[in-house]
A and B are shown apart, each in its own frame.
Chain A
Amino acid sequence: MSGSAQADAKGAGSKEVPERRRKGISQVTLVYLIVLALIPLSRLISPAFPSTDQVENILVLGSFLAIVAFGQGLVILTGGIDLSVAAIITASAVFMSAITGAMGNSALVGVLLTLGVGILIGLFNGIGVAYLKIPPFIMTLATGVMATSILLGQTNGSPSGASPPVLRELFGTGRIFGIPITIFFFAALVFVGWLIQSRTTYGQRLYAVGNGEIVARISGLPVKQLITSVYVVSGLCCAIAGIMLLGFTAGANLSIGNDYLLPSIAAVVVGGTAIKGGTGRYLGTVAGVLLLTTVSTDISAMQLSEGWKQIVYGAIVLAALVLSRERPEGGSRTNIFARLRARKREEDMDEGHGDVSKGAAGPGQSAASQNEHRRSISQ
């Protein structure tokens, strides 16, 4: 992780966070608008669209991704990445079905123990990244590979046991007012996620860590604990997703989590979070989740061969990235949102933070080294 010890703590800590957040709004709105446009456009694909069935489906299928992406989003916010999500989801689902099925524990005990497993794996990741300074990409990749391999060894390859009836009811067949219970969970999750990331000190501190670890440390934040915590939260989220999926599919298998690794990252990035950390909002991630799920629902209704479906899916993801990208100041201003955003940014900018560093900040750039560079320019 990079950073300069002398960088201006005020600049990175207090000023930038709200500014970035406001910038994020228009980008997030844009993704929501794309989703809203896509749903009626589904009509072109199937005469049965748009329908309540379709929306219900998007929300139910999206809920699993949304929760995984919350954890992933926090990890990315601090400049990390979690590649072990698929393994943790699978491990949780299999563990849950094993201890409630084969060992006959009650569903509640099962849920608590399973959440514990998620937290433990997350803690393992967090300690490796925060205290041992192992790059997150490598640490979580290794953890994922190891967890899968241990799981295979323990289950001897074949998970046994089924989902407890309560879970089936909650996340499978159950409905309140005719609406699947899972959708209520989704709504609650979005609220809680937004609350944690945008309205708590904890959330604010994560932004600070993402904007520059060293600065954050100098400002007195417990950086190592904070970084560890996001991996724990991610592990916990995956465990919840695993439990929900177990209820949804009423049976665990060892590939149950595979669909969530790359989409969880894609959802976060499409929702406007920079992979290098320090920016982004959970509502943006939710928009990303809805976009990806809507697209995949639409595409599966297309009468195309699988290869073409993949091509279309990839092209749409790419288009969404291009549409919702953050434009550099000097760049083209054909898009009204970009123009508005740019104007806002200009208003917010104080004189010392020159345009060069903002405009030229590429993906290879961490916020802290930008600060460092700004300093060297102003000197």
Chain B
Amino acid sequence: MIETGAVARKRTFWQELRPQALATNSVLLAAVVFLILFMIWTYYLPGGLNAFQIKDLLNLAQALAFASFGATLVLIVGGFDLSVAGLISLVNVLVATQMPSSAGLAFSFAVLLVALGLVVGLINGCLVSFLRLESIATTLATFIILSGLALVLLAAPGGTVPPSFYEPVTGIIGGTIPVALVVLVLLVIIWLVIKRTRFGVNLFAIGADEDAATMNGVRTRAVKVWAFGVAGAMYALAGLSLSAATSTGNPNAGTPFLLTTFAAVALGGTSFAGGKGSAIGSIIGALVLAIIPKVLFVLGIASFSTGLFQGLVMIAAVLLGVATAKLGRKEES
């Protein structure tokens, strides 16, 4: 990354910052991994594939896709955001205990929760950006606080999510197209738009070299705060999606996302050093993580090994990424 950076500085600053091109490889790779797993799954699936099974799979992957989308933004600017798990728990609990049952009000309430996520994210961003705290430790603290809030609001799993909310969100349009598929496509489009806006370009600029970005007039602090903010909104969407999938509240619902979110991001080829990454990769990473247990099940492999496979797939994906990047570089020279 630096080699290219050093060379590119001789070109214009902005030309250097199209690392999207660099990330394409890893996204493609993640997609190939997913397709292979998908084919194995459908080949062995008893009774063959139908729209309902795809719907089930996408509904499972959706929350993780939202969460890792958000995490990707923060990682690109060079931060870490552990608050994802706490925010998902909090939103889940709020949905299960407070959401009105009429459809219109339910969806307005959902919008309100996304705004809440945005605010929490902005607070994280301010702490990290203006007080210059370590993002990993700061968001660890906010994660603990948010989880505590969830537990205060709901002491034990329970509450119900109104069917007027979860039925349309988890359903199938016209018996063929799962709503979750539409949502995932929308997410991809959102990412493609974001990365073409000035905000998106600035994200990469800051992650690659914050000082250089400042010199070039990027308001780094504000951009970072908004990166955390948009991420927070995405985590709230993940919480909504999880609530729809489980149709109930659980104060610990978000905890598993603490690690799986970053695993999904890693699978998607986003760099943990900042400046490089793609939310599309992360979405595919989420799909890969969702399909692994299903593939292992149809292959009859002891489910103890799920973790082993997840780990191997992660390492293999990164190694393949490294290898292809190297090949690409050789061809160039």
Chain A interface residues (CB < 8 Å from chain B): 1-5, 83, 128, 132-139, 141-146, 148-150, 152-153, 157, 262, 265-266, 269-270, 274-275, 305-315, 317-318, 321-322, 325-328, 331, 356-357, 360-366, 369-370, 372-373, 376
Do residues A365 and B78 form an inter-chain contact, with CB atoms below 8 A? yes
Pick 29 A–B contacts, CB within 8 A, sort by A: A3-B2, A134-B318, A134-B319, A136-B272, A138-B272, A138-B314, A138-B315, A141-B259, A145-B263, A146-B307, A146-B310, A146-B312, A149-B306, A150-B308, A153-B302, A265-B137, A310-B145, A311-B152, A313-B144, A313-B148, A317-B137, A318-B141, A318-B145, A322-B131, A362-B129, A362-B220, A362-B224, A365-B78, A365-B211
CB closest residue in chain B, given A313: B144
Complex Cα–Cα for A156 and B6 (A): 52
B299: min CB distance to chain A, Å: 15
B132: min CB distance to chain A, Å: 6
- Grouping DSSP codes into helix (H, G, I), strand (E, B) and loop, the B interface class, with mixed when no group exceeds half, is helix
Complex Cα–Cα for A157 and B131 (A): 45
Residues of A within 8 A of B135 (CB): 275, 363
0/1 string, B127-155, CB within 8 A of A gives 1 = 11101111111101111111111111101
Complex Cα–Cα for A30 and B266 (A): 37
Complex Cα–Cα for A305 and B2 (A): 50
Do residues B272 and A137 form an inter-chain contact, with CB atoms below 8 A? yes
Residues of A within 8 A of B121 (CB): none
- Grouping DSSP codes into helix (H, G, I), strand (E, B) and loop, the A interface class, with mixed when no group exceeds half, is helix
Among B31-39, B173-181, B202-210, B233-241, the stretch in contact with A: B202-210
For residue B77, CB closer than 8 A to chain A, the reply is yes
For residue B160, CB closer than 8 A to chain A, the reply is no
Given contacts A4-B6, A135-B266, A141-B259, contact A360 B211 (CB under 8 A): yes
Complex Cα–Cα for A83 and B140 (A): 14
Do residues A145 and B311 form an inter-chain contact, with CB atoms below 8 A? yes
Partner of B210, one of A132, A143, A149, A365: A365
Of listed A137, A146, A363, A370, residue having the most chain B CB within 10 A: A363
Complex Cα–Cα for A136 and B311 (A): 13
Do residues B308 and A317 form an inter-chain contact, with CB atoms below 8 A? no
Residues of A within 8 A of B322 (CB): 132-134
Complex Cα–Cα for A5 and B5 (A): 12
**Besides A146-B311, A146-B312, A265-B137, 7 other A-B contacts (C-beta < 8 A):** A142-B310, A269-B137, A314-B148, A360-B220, A362-B210, A363-B135, A370-B211
Residues of A within 8 A of B251 (CB): 307
Residues of B within 8 A of A269 (CB): 134, 136-137
Residues of A within 8 A of B143 (CB): 314
A126: min CB distance to chain B, Å: 14
0/1 string, B294-322, CB within 8 A of A gives 1 = 00000000101111101110110011001
Do residues A149 and B305 form an inter-chain contact, with CB atoms below 8 A? yes
Of listed B78, B141, B145, B274, residue having the most chain A CB within 10 A: B141
Given contacts A2-B1, A315-B141, A363-B78, contact A321 B134 (CB under 8 A): yes
Of listed B6, B149, B262, B314, residue having the most chain A CB within 10 A: B314
Complex Cα–Cα for A266 and B144 (A): 12
Given contacts A2-B1, A153-B302, A357-B211, contact A314 B132 (CB under 8 A): no
Residues of A within 8 A of B80 (CB): 275
For residue B271, CB closer than 8 A to chain A, the reply is yes
For residue B273, CB closer than 8 A to chain A, the reply is yes
